[in-house]
Structure 1
Amino acid sequence: MNDVWVLAGPNTSFRQLLLGKSRLLFDRLWLPRFCNYTFLGSDTAPVGHGWHPYFMAPEKADVYSLEIEQQGYYVIDHDLIPTGELVDTFGASDLKPIGGTELNHCFVLEKGNVIKVKLINSINGREVEISTKGYPYMQVYIPPNRNCIALEPCTCIPDAFNNQVGSRYLKPSEVWELQFDITIKA
């Protein structure tokens, strides 16, 4: 059976990547590898950045395993706003089956130059790897119907303008460089 990964991209509602025996349809040109932001204002400004790729497959999210180089995750309240409490996972980064786990977690990634997150299909072994530089957090979300998994690299946690976790302020003419790559292994 083929896996279908749907990725949102600029200037289009969706771009589709079909992983099968003979086809790999992926126009990498629409997904920026490097992001460079230059602030053009005259005073400092708060900024935050995140990507929101959703990976969809015929199987439910339950057949996947996830590996994140992370230090913990932020607890959220009933309105999905982080409470400020950080659950320490003691740097756990082993490959873990998702199974029926409900996920809407903002993980704190391990400190380092380039961070990698892997999603592996336990039925056919297909793998998605996200590498980031400059994104210290990864929001992982599985919707109630469990037909996809979002792996969302971000520079701050949700509600950062209020909680200040991961907040960054750019000065006039300051350049901010970020990197984000997706690698598919069929």
Structure 2
Amino acid sequence: MEIEIVETNGDSIIKILNPLSNESACINASVGGTLMSLKLKEANELHELITIPYHQKYHLHENPFYPSGLLMPWVNRVRNGNYSFLGKNYQLPINETNLGNAIHGFMARRKFEIFEEICNEQEAKIILKSSYSNDFEGFPFPFESYLSYSLKTNGQFEFTISCKNMGETNMPFATGWHPYFQLGNQLNDLTLYFNSIEKYLSDSQMIPLKAVPFQAADGMKLLEEKPDNVYLLEQKKLTKVTLAHTQSNLALNLSFDSSKFPYFVAFCPENKECIALEPMTGNTDCFNTFEGLLQLKPNENFSGTVQISLEKIG
């Protein structure tokens, strides 16, 4: 197993590689630890699973679709950028101007530094670190964030998000991940499977308005559904979200602890043959609704892992 680090156009690019299988992951540490590429092998064929939608139009630092973005310290939207916590009101900058919300936190474009490298016969792992010290308007709660990326010889990739409250008071917190996946070339060949309880319907600001019963265990055809919703998952120690390509009998699996990530977004951007699959600790606008909101005590740490693998089905 190998780890390569290069500087490209001012960005620190990290590649973790299995030279025997050519499986690899590519990370931009300078832009929120963005996972730029993930190549895994199944049946002796290498598959690029990650895509960066609209990369030709937007630089990664300003891509409004937040490809592979780290959602922290809130997920999705805070209505009007306003929230109250422990008796105080806070105003976040509005960065979704068309809907009037604060969206996706502020860590997706922050610079991360290399904290640790681990490389042996079983895996290559890189751990990144970024310290936040109260320099973002409306969030006066310092914390440290760690991101871990591991590629194993068995073809499994793991991404771990960790955050520690470095302040002297409780801190409102939610986190998640916003990767876009591709499998094949067309949405009409893709079906998504996951164990859900509810689907949230949104209002004009894309804030959940109400929940309706919804179960996707039998499959949701992406071309028919074209999802852009939050779902409440059945809480299990190991939950699996499966994106299946019917033509090739190939499936991409996201596995995670849904007691840590009980909310999940599926989103297909318009005119793009990809889907964002987003495990989240809290619901959209949880800073106001408290649905899934975590309150980290001083020195308390949150950590959650998402595993990605490929398998043949059928």
Normalised-by-shorter TM-score class: 0.7 to 0.9
1:48-87 alignment, distance < 5 Å: 48-83=174-209, 85-87=210-212
Deviation at 1:55, TM superposition (A): 0.6
User: Structure 2 residue aligned with 1:37, among 153, 158, 163?
Assistant: 163
Which of 1 and 2 has greater Rg?
2
1:30-179 alignment, distance < 5 Å: 31=149, 33-83=159-209, 85-89=210-214, 91-133=215-257, 134-179=260-305
Q: Could you tell me the TM-score, scaled by structure 2's length? A: 0.51
Deviation at 1:49, TM superposition (A): 0.5
Q: Could you tell me the TM-score, scaled by structure 1's length? A: 0.83
C-alpha distance in 1, partners of 2:124/2:269?
26
Deviation at 1:61, TM superposition (A): 1.6
C-alpha distance in 1, partners of 2:280/2:27?
16
User: Residue 78 and residue 8 in structure 1: after superposition, are their counterparts in 2 closer, same or farther (change >3 A)?
Assistant: farther
Q: Which has the higher contact order (CA 8 A, sep 6+)?
A: 1
C-alpha distance in 2, partners of 1:8/1:164?
35
Q: CA RMSD in A?
A: 2.6
User: Residue 22 and residue 124 in structure 1: after superposition, are their counterparts in 2 closer, same or farther (change >3 A)?
Assistant: closer
Aligned length: 178
User: Residue 36 and residue 164 in structure 1: after superposition, are their counterparts in 2 closer, same or farther (change >3 A)?
Assistant: same
More divergent stretch after superposition (16-25 vs 124-133): 16-25
SS in 2 for 1:99: helix
**Percent identical:** 25
More divergent stretch after superposition (95-104 vs 143-152): 95-104
C-alpha distance in 1, partners of 2:35/2:238?
29
C-alpha distance in 2, partners of 1:147/1:107?
21
SS in 2 for 1:161: helix
Residues 51-110 of structure 1: per-residue CA shift (max 9 Å, x gap): 111012452222111111110111112321211x11112x55223332332200111010
C-alpha distance in 2, partners of 1:141/1:25?
19
- Structure 2: runs of 5+ lacking an equivalent: 1-24, 50-122, 127-148, 150-157
- Structure 1: runs of 5+ lacking an equivalent: 1-6
